[in-house]
């Protein structure tokens, strides 16, 4: 059986100009990065603003498990299936981060015969967007430290610096560091920190900015530090907004590639969903909607994280409204939530399935709170039995949801046609009425507690003294009306990764909070989630190499 990368390397790709032509986009309206990758020109982005929107389909999932759910695979396969049904379709995805590529999760290009290509370039440096974001963030950090070294005219308090440097790699040793050591000319000695690039506010800003002017405005509002008398310091105060924008002027333009079946794929931006807002860029989604009749997009991790942030943050800020929602599950993941160890998931176990299916039930319930009746799809594995599939189908019917079986990993778009037909039926019903889960007029604590109670199922919320003070300060500084971006584990509905299924009676612990004024939300960090992940004991990097023919091996 071929591996994902082997399938991708054997694919016959169309020239990217031909993929664009399928959307009515001319060669002059894209900028090629080789024969199979392009960025949209500023001229096309401006021109397309007058086009009507197509239908937006959101793909989300139950809580991820070590068994894998295949949400991106389903997203890609659904796009290919709609294309096979004669629909003018595009998909909109995030760009992969190097951290998980070389860590444990692998890439984010789909799998099997439902992938986007060129897979290697996408999962590695792609068009350099993440490098540009990293550079813009770290330029700001360098300017800030230089300002303090050169006399500190703004009177910045070294103990109240908010901005952290970033790197698109899992490197736990950089979480807490000391900089400026050595001679006096080497800078002001202070404690500093690194986060992974996909958790940076610059990443969030790029993904939420409407255009270059909005990007500049958002960058200028970032709070990077406070003065000794408590005044916020911004990039505008440090006079580096223009330089940051120059670094990001190409990165803000969405990228175009293709699936194995040549469906156009708008791939742009990549904030993590467990520590950021988990959606591809507003610009890419809007451009896709203005270029195709149907757009399939995904939100990271489970619906408690990615979908909640997509619906409460991205849609609210960008004025978007999904026309249908797909909820991905697997029999294996449901049995894992029912207490079965990973090594035993291939064996039929109806008792564990009945116990673990409550996780799926909670996600269905949550999506209904936003006004959607999701189409549930089981991403099929060869070990799934008819009895297990029939039980899940019956369960979904009791919840008022249609369920299909997805076989896109093995069959590509053909294996997603039942799902595509179900999604089209749901869109035709036109009964979904989207609304966010909370009103922005609520206080920050009320928003946090609404998400924790309604989406996670928590009994209550507790705040550390540090988090409570930060939320009070944010309210006083006028940020109380912003939405909240929750950072928590993806593995559980709770903030404890060990609580599987549908936990109840737990308390969410908010240990830290801060304002992302440029992005336009307040981040609340729950539990022990880290904004700079570490590598596992055996990282994926150990398996990645180049063979004697110059082909990459081990990437997945």
Which residues form the catalytic set? 71, 73, 94, 105, 273, 301, 381, 409
For the purposes of burial, counting CB atoms within 10 Å of the CB of 78, is it exposed (0-12), middle (13-18) or buried (19 or more)?
buried
Which is it for the CA torsion 145, 241, 485, 200, positive or negative? negative
Residue 73 has which token pair?
A: 């695979």
**C-beta separation of 54 from 296 below 8 A:** no
Structure tokens at 141: 């950090």
> Beta strands 324-329 and 55-61: pairing type?
parallel
396: phi then psi, degrees, rounded to nearest 5: -65, -40
What is the rounded CA–CA span in Å between residue 554 and residue 107? 11
Local structure of 130: helix, strand or coil: helix
Q: How far apart are CA 119 and CA 259, in angstroms?
A: 10
Q: What letter would DSSP give residue 49?
A: G
Nearest to 75 by CA among 362, 409, 314: 409
Residue 247 exposure: Cα atoms within 13 Å on the Cβ side: 20
Tell which residue, 531, 533, 518, has the closest CA to residue 248: 518
Distance, CA of 408 to CA of 419 (rounded, Å): 10
Q: State the Cα–Cα distance between residues 279 and 261, nearest whole angstrom.
A: 24
Strand 403-406 with 375-379, pairing: parallel
d(CA 375, CA 326) in angstroms, rounded, equals 5
CA nearest 40: which of 294, 290, 259? Answer: 290
Beta carbons within 8 Å of 331's beta carbon, 6+ residues apart: 353, 378, 381, 383, 384, 388, 389, 392
């Amino acid at each position: 059986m071929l591996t994902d990368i082997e399938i991708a390397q054997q694919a016959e790709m169309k020239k990217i100009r031909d993929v664009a032509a399928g959307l009515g986009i001319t060669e002059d309206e894209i900028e090629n990065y080789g024969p199979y990758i392009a960025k949209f020109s500023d001229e096309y982005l401006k021109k397309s603003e007058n086009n009507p929107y197509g239908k937006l389909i959101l793909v989300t999932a139950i809580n991820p498990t070590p068994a894998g759910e295949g949400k991106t695979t389903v997203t890609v396969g659904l796009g290919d299936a709609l294309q096979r049904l004669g629909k003018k379709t595009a998909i909109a995805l995030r760009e992969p981060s190097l951290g998980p590529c070389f860590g444990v999760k692998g890439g984010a290009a789909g799998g099997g015969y439902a992938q986007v290509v060129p897979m290697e370039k996408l999962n590695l440096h792609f068009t350099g967007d993440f490098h540009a974001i990293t550079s813009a963030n770290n330029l700001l950090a360098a300017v800030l430290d230089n300002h303090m070294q050169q006399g500190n005219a703004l009177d910045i308090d070294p103990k109240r610096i908010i901005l952290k440097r970033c790197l698109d790699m899992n490197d736990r040793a950089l979480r807490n560091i000391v900089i400026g050591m050595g001679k006096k000319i080497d800078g002001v000695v202070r404690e500093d920190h690194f986060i992974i690039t996909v958790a940076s506010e610059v990443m969030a800003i790029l993904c939420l900015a409407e255009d270059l002017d909005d990007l500049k405005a958002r960058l200028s509002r970032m709070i990077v530090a406070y003065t000794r008398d408590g005044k916020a310091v911004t990039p505008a105060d440090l006079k580096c907004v223009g330089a940051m924008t120059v670094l990001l002027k190409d990165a803000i333009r969405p990228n175009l590639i293709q699936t194995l079946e040549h469906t156009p794929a708008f791939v742009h931006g990549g904030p993590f969903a467990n520590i950021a807002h988990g959606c591809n860029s507003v610009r890419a989604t809007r451009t896709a909607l203005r270029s195709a009749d149907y757009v399939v997009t995904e939100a990271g991790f489970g619906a408690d994280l990615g979908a909640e942030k997509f619906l409460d943050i991205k849609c609210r800020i960008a004025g978007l409204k999904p026309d249908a929602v797909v909820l991905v599950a697997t029999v294996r993941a449901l049995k894992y939530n029912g207490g079965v160890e990973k090594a035993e998931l291939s064996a039929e176990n109806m008792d564990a399935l009945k116990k673990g299916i409550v996780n799926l039930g909670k996600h269905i319930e949550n999506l209904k709170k936003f006004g959607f009746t999701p189409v549930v799809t089981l991403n099929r594995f060869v070990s799934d039995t008819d009895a297990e599939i029939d039980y899940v189908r019956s369960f979904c019917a009791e919840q008022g949801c249609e369920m299909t079986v997805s076989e896109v990993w093995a069959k590509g778009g053909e294996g997603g046609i039942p799902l595509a037909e179900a999604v089209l039926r749901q869109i035709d019903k036109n009964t979904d009425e989207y609304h966010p889960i909370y009103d922005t007029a609520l206080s920050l604590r009320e928003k946090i507690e609404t998400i924790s109670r309604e989406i996670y199922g928590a009994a209550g919320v507790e705040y550390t003294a540090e988090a409570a003070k930060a939320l009070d300060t944010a309210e006083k500084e006028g940020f109380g009306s912003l939405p909240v971006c929750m950072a928590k584990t993806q593995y559980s509905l709770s903030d404890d990764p060990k609580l599987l299924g549908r936990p109840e009676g737990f308390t969410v612990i908010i240990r830290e909070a801060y304002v992302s004024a440029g992005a336009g939300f307040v981040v609340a960090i729950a539990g022990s989630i880290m904004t700079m992940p570490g590598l596992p004991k055996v990282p994926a990097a150990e398996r990645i190499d180049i063979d004697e023919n110059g082909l990459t091996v081990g990437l997945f």
